[in-house]
Every structure is written in structure tokens, then in C-alpha cells.
Amino acid sequence: MTKITNDQGLPWKRVWVTGAGRGIGAALTRLFCEEGLTVYASSRTQQDLDVLQQKLSQYPGTMIPVPLDICNKENINSLIESWKKENNFPELVILNAGTHDPFPAQEFSAERCEQLFDINLMGTIKCLEPVLKHYMAHNRGHIAVMASVAGYRGLPTAAAYGASKAALIHLCEALKLDLLGTDVKLQVINPGFVRTPLTDKNTFAMPDLMEPEDAAMAIIKGLLKDRFEIAFPARFVRILKLLRLLPYNCYFRLVRRITGAQ
């Protein structure tokens, strides 16, 4: 992976990345370790963290595996309190953990929706609450929340996933307004299609599919800027933002053509 900084390095010493076991989270963890940072890498699966830690042992940074279920508020709060006690709270938190369960209207399930919302939305909120409180109390800190361009408008088989990501975008927009005038930086990350175990579940064509390493690079570059939204790839994002302006009859027809949805 190509280094993206000059000799001064990145502006953080410690970073917390949720959902770090695979995909974008693992690629971000690798990049941060390559740049010499201490990375608290959390995932529900200990095995994924062990494999990743072994791969990253060659880099100057330090990966600290943190097995964590983001739906367990007690475990999250214990982790936060340990950082406070040891005075090593991360300066940057990337709430990346999430899941994807694609299903069409014919298989619509309240239970499956609830399970997805519990992880993507409420799991993120449970992590966000104590981090936000700590940063606001000290008037400093940097938070990035992983949403998706799927939150812009509805996409095939993504009723639950897209709704959870739309909720995260809305959440961050509102919090951003509340944080104006403070030194707490909040950004939302809206990737397009990235090749991960989650997108492997999709059965339709995925335009401008990116590799996790490229997505991680785009995220780091975005974190170093002052823009609220980090969205990529540029061409696909532009198309989807234009689609938001179309009336429904045109939108549904174009999305069906783009994705090949039946």
C-alpha cells in the first residue's frame, strides 16, 4: 500500500476502528499501522483479529486487538473507561462496523430488518454515545461514521440496509449542526460498492466496484480534509446524487437498467 503522507505523518497517534477484522476496516487498520499509529482494532471475531495482527507485525505501528460486540453497551463502556483510566483515549474513532443482509420484497422480514438495524444503526450509536461525550467534554476529537451511498435512495434488495445507512447519514447531519463552533470533528463516510464479504452477497451488477485498499486510501485522504462527507468513487457518487433529483418514474427505470434488477 502506497504511503499517503509526508514526513510529518498523520495527525493522530491512536485510532479506534470498529469492524476491523475484514474488508475496509482491515485495510484501514493496515494503512494506519503502516503509518506508525497505534490502532485499537475491534471485531466480534477474535480469529479475524489474530490473523490481521500477524499480517501487520512487520509495520512500525501497533495493532491492539479488541474483541467487541458493538451491540453490547456494557462492553463498549468498559472499553471506553479503560482508555480514560489509562489516559490513552484515541484521537480518531472510525465507526465502521456493519453488516449487510440483502433480500427482495418477496422475502421481506421484520426480524431480519431488526437484526440489521441493531448492528448498523444502534451498534454504531452505542459506540458513538460515550465517544461523543468524551470528546465534547474535552472539546477535541475526530469521529467518522461509515454510512453508504445506498442511503441516498433505494436500491434493489437493500430496503433494510439502505434504510439503516440513510438513518446514519441523517444522524450525522444533525449532530454536525450541533457540533458547529466546537473542536469536535464529525464526518460521514459514504462509499460506493467495495469488494468485501458483505458486497459478495449482492446478486446484481455493482458499478465501479472498488478494492478495500483503494477505499481505505480514499477514506484517509478524506479524513485529512475539512469536508463533512467522504464519498467515493467520484463518478458513481455524482451519478447517484443526480439520481436523487429525478422524479420517481425516471429513477426507478434508470436504477433497474444500471443494476440489472428484475
* Interval 67-91: pLDDT, tens: 999 999 999 999 999 999 999 999 9
Residue type, 76: I
Q: Is residue 4 part of a domain?
A: no
Q: Is residue 87 part of a domain?
A: yes
SS3 (DSSP) at 227: coil
Cβ burial 81-106 (10 Å sphere, 16+ → b, else e): eebeeeeebbbbbbbbbbbbbbbeee
Q: Is residue 2 part of a domain?
A: no
* Interval 35-70: pLDDT, tens: 999 999 999 999 999 999 999 999 999 999 999 999
Number of domains in the chain: 1
Q: Is residue 56 part of a domain?
A: yes
Q: Is residue 245 part of a domain?
A: yes
Q: 0.85 exceeded by the pTM? A: yes
Confidence at 6, pLDDT banded by 50, 70, 90: very low
Q: Is residue 8 part of a domain?
A: no
* Domain span including residue 80: 14-259
Q: Is residue 3 part of a domain?
A: no
Q: Is residue 175 part of a domain?
A: yes
Q: Could you tell me the CATH number of the domain that includes residue 43?
A: 3.40.50.720
* Interval 169-197: pLDDT, tens: 999 999 999 999 999 999 999 998 788 76
Set of cell numbers at residue 158 = 437493500
Q: Per mean pLDDT, which range of 16-25, 134-143, 239-248 is the poorest? A: 239-248
pLDDT at res. 155: 87
Confidence at 262, pLDDT banded by 50, 70, 90: low
